[in-house]
Every structure is written in structure tokens, then in C-alpha cells.
């Protein structure tokens, strides 16, 4: 109990940091992912090649290496980033590569006839996408996107490697100073699990709402 009392304030701050890293990276990653998906599906050959290359590299290399490259590698080019921005950049680019594929699959699942119906009403592409294709694509993309959000929440623990004080880092530091590793890691594991249970719940609610018409 003594341990908990000592750890509690630190854990609360760390939880805030974990949530901040996860949510920010998810939002930025979603923007990147949607942009890359659209470039891949509707862009010219150059945009398509860039999109394919981006997904291939950021999905094909370990997140830890990406994080180390951004934090320790970029300074050699004179780009020195603080630990938190560096982590957000690496996590966003990593998640963006996966989300691009989730969004692309969702958009591809929309029947060709839906586009034709939208066009036959005189809609230009952006409106046909927003009004007709996107809502149907979202329904298909939500389960994998939800999984990616959950994976991303867990991936934030790697930020501890570049000295970000988030849940994992706090568990490690309290653990090492008290030798109560078991308790500390068990506690943060429970916290990650709780966060992700809430995310799962949110995903389920969203899925059910979008399925109402079907």
C-alpha cells in the first residue's frame, strides 16, 4: 500500500503522457493514412509510387528502430527533437502506414455502382467521396482501425526508450528503486488493459451505430 501511495501521483502523470502520445499519434496518423490512401487510389503515378514506398518502409521496419532513427539519427542532420515530439513523429508515421492500408481497403470495398450513382447525380469527386463513399468505407474500416488504435496505445511504451516519462518508464524507475518490479509492471499492464478495453467499447458503439442502416 505504501508503494501504491508513492507511485500513484507519478502513475497519473504517466497515464496522461501515454494517452497524449497515443491519441495525438492516432489523429496525426489518421490524417497521414487517409492522405496516403487517397494518393495511392486516386493519385497519378508519382503520388502512387510515393504512397507505396512510404507504406512499405514504415510498415516493414521495427517501430523501435524508427523511433531511434528519429530521436538519435536526425540530430546528425542537425534536426534535434525533444523526446516527446520525436516519439509522436515516429508513432504517427508508423501508425499512418497501417491506417493507410485500412482506409484503402475500406474505400475499395465501396461498390462501383455507388460511385456511379453519386456521379450520375452530378456530384464532383470530392462530394461523391464525402457523401457516398466515405460513410460506407468507414463502416468497413472501423474494426481494423480500432485494432490499430489499440496497438498504437501499447506501442507508446517504446517511448520510454527515448526517455519519455510515460507509464512504462515510470514502472521501470519505481521498480528499480524499490525492487518491486512485479507489482509495478503488473499495475501498468492493468492500466494499458483498462485503456484498451475502453477503446474496444468505443469501437463497438461506433460499429453498432454505423450498422444501424444495414
135 lies in the site for other proteins, by CB under 8 A: yes
Give the Cα separation of 87 and 43 in Å (integer): 29
Do 137 and 109 form a contact (C-beta atoms < 8 A)?
A: yes
Range in contact with other proteins (rule: CB under 8 A) among 43-51, 73-81, 133-141, 192-200: 133-141
Any contact of residue 139 with other proteins (CB under 8 A)? yes
- Interface with other proteins (CB under 8 A), residue total 22
**In this complex, which beta carbon is closest to other proteins, that of residue 59 or of residue 130?**
130
Residue 32, number of CB atoms within 10 A of its CB: 21
CB 109 within 8 A of CB 83: no
Beta-carbon neighbour count of residue 151 at 10 Å?
Answer: 15
What is the distance between the alpha carbons of residues 47 and 182, in angstroms, rounded to a whole number? Answer: 49
Q: Residues 97 to 116: which contact other proteins by CB under 8 A?
A: 111, 113-114, 116
d(C-alpha 209, C-alpha 211), whole Å: 5
Query: Does residue 127 interact with other proteins by CB under 8 A?
Result: yes
Cell of 129: 467521396
**DSSP single-letter state for residue 75:** G
Nearer Cβ to other proteins, position 54 or 103? 103
- Cα first-last separation, the chain: 51
Nearer to other proteins, 120 or 177 (CB): 120
Distance (Å) of CA 190 to CA 114, 126, 167, 168, 178 = 44, 43, 11, 12, 20
Q: Name the residue nearer to other proteins (CB basis): 182 or 213.
A: 213
Q: CB of 141: closest distance to other proteins in angstroms? A: 14
Q: Which is nearer to other proteins, 59 or 131 (CB)?
A: 131
CA separation for the pair 210, 64 (Å, rounded)? 35
Interface with other proteins, residue 123, by CB under 8 A: yes
Q: Quick one: which segment of 36-44, 123-131, 145-153, 196-204 binds other proteins (CB under 8 A)?
A: 123-131
Residue 132 within binding range of other proteins, rule CB under 8 A: yes
207 binds other proteins (CB under 8 A): no
131 binds other proteins (CB under 8 A): yes
Instruction: State the residues that interact with other proteins by CB under 8 A.
Output: 111, 113-114, 116-124, 127, 131-132, 135-136, 139, 210, 212-214
Amino acid at each position: 500500500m505504501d508503494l501504491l501511495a508513492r507511485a500513484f501521483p507519478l502513475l497519473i502523470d504517466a497515464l496522461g503522457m501515454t494517452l497524449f502520445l497515443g491519441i495525438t499519434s492516432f489523429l496525426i496518423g489518421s490524417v497521414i493514412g487517409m492522405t496516403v490512401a487517397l494518393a495511392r487510389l486516386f493519385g497519378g503515378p508519382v503520388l502512387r509510387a510515393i504512397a507505396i514506398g512510404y507504406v512499405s518502409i514504415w510498415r516493414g521496419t521495427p517501430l523501435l528502430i524508427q523511433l531511434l532513427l528519429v530521436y538519435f539519427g536526425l540530430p546528425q542532420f542537425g534536426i534535434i527533437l525533444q523526446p516527446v515530439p520525436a516519439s509522436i513523429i515516429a508513432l504517427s508515421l508508423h501508425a499512418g502506414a497501417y491506417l493507410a492500408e485500412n482506409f484503402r481497403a475500406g474505400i475499395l470495398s465501396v461498390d462501383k455502382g455507388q460511385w456511379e450513382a453519386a456521379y450520375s447525380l452530378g456530384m464532383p469527386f470530392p462530394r461523391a467521396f464525402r457523401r457516398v463513399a466515405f460513410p460506407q468505407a468507414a463502416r468497413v474500416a472501423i474494426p481494423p482501425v480500432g485494432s490499430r488504435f489499440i496497438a498504437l496505445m501499447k506501442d507508446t511504451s517504446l517511448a520510454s526508450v527515448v526517455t519519455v516519462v510515460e507509464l512504462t518508464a515510470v514502472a521501470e524507475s519505481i521498480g528499480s528503486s524499490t525492487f518491486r518490479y512485479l507489482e509495478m509492471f503488473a499495475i501498468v499492464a492493468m492500466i494499458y488493459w483498462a485503456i484498451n478495453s475502453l477503446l474496444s467499447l468505443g469501437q463497438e458503439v461506433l460499429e453498432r451505430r454505423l450498422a444501424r442502416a444495414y
